[in-house]
Amino acid sequence: MADQAEDVVSWKTVTPGITVVTMKRPPANALGIALLDGLHAAMDAAERAGDVKVMVIGSAQPGFFAAGADIKHLSSIDAESFTEYGDKMRAVNDRLAAAGWISIAAIDGIALGGGLELALACTLRVAGSAAQLGLPEVKLGLIPGAGGTQRLPRLVGRGRALDIMLTARQVPADEAYRIGLVDRVTDGDVLATALSFAEQLVGPSLPAQLAVIRTVDAAFDTPLADGAQFEIDQIQALFEDGEAAEGITAFVGKRAPQFR
């Protein structure tokens, strides 16, 4: 029987504002159609709820975050279907990257190919000390096609990104942390570490946090003067829409702010 989206992806609210999305397609969370549909369904649910501030994406498969594209599926399709499959992978990643919440990839084990591209689309990445990350598509006569060639250099720089992609090697967690591919590494429980990280993120103003993300991303895509103007526009908008007023008033009044 073919995989069903609800069987290979689940999600739940663990504390107010924090949702955990779990991939659970044996044996290695290959990114088949059902799993991709399940990730879309999880994001649909978060949008309907309207109160998600942090989404943690993890795995129920021991030793794997996600092994990458579904190679068996790729071996049985034509060029038109390959385009459709690639579009579906890109749609998940692009939607996640542009979501109205912060996302954390909890990488406990292997994250290769499309699995790493999914993690790269997240705002932040937490890895276990045994994690291995890579974009080995050149071994299949392909290149990363779901954002990897664009997002990886923005994190680690051109030379390091080329090293990782041209050699098709697996990057261990300690190196991934050193070069900025992951943001935190733990010897303990990866999901628990990611949730602790999420708890630190859930308190501040989400509109302000999203403005920080937009402004930092603009630094990679615009000249300095344009980026500085974008920063001005973002902070002005936060002041004018009342979010900053609440934060400032709460600080002066020595109370907890009630952010949106």
Cβ count near 150 (within 10 Å): 12
Please give the span between the terminal C-alpha atoms of the chain, in angstroms, as a whole number.
44
Active site amino acids = 117, 137
Report d(CA 74, CA 58) in Å as an integer: 24
- Residues 135/82, Cβ–Cβ less than 8 Å: no
Give, for all 260 residues of the chain, the pLDDT tens digit.
Answer: 467 888 999 999 999 999 999 999 999 999 999 999 999 999 999 999 999 999 999 999 999 999 987 778 777 778 888 889 889 999 999 999 999 999 999 999 999 999 999 999 999 999 999 999 999 999 989 999 999 999 999 999 999 999 999 999 999 999 999 999 999 999 999 999 999 999 999 999 999 999 999 999 999 889 999 999 999 999 898 888 777 777 778 888 888 887 77
* Pairing relationship of beta strands 18-23 and 9-15 according to DSSP bridges: antiparallel
The reply to whether the predicted model has a pTM over 0.95 is: no
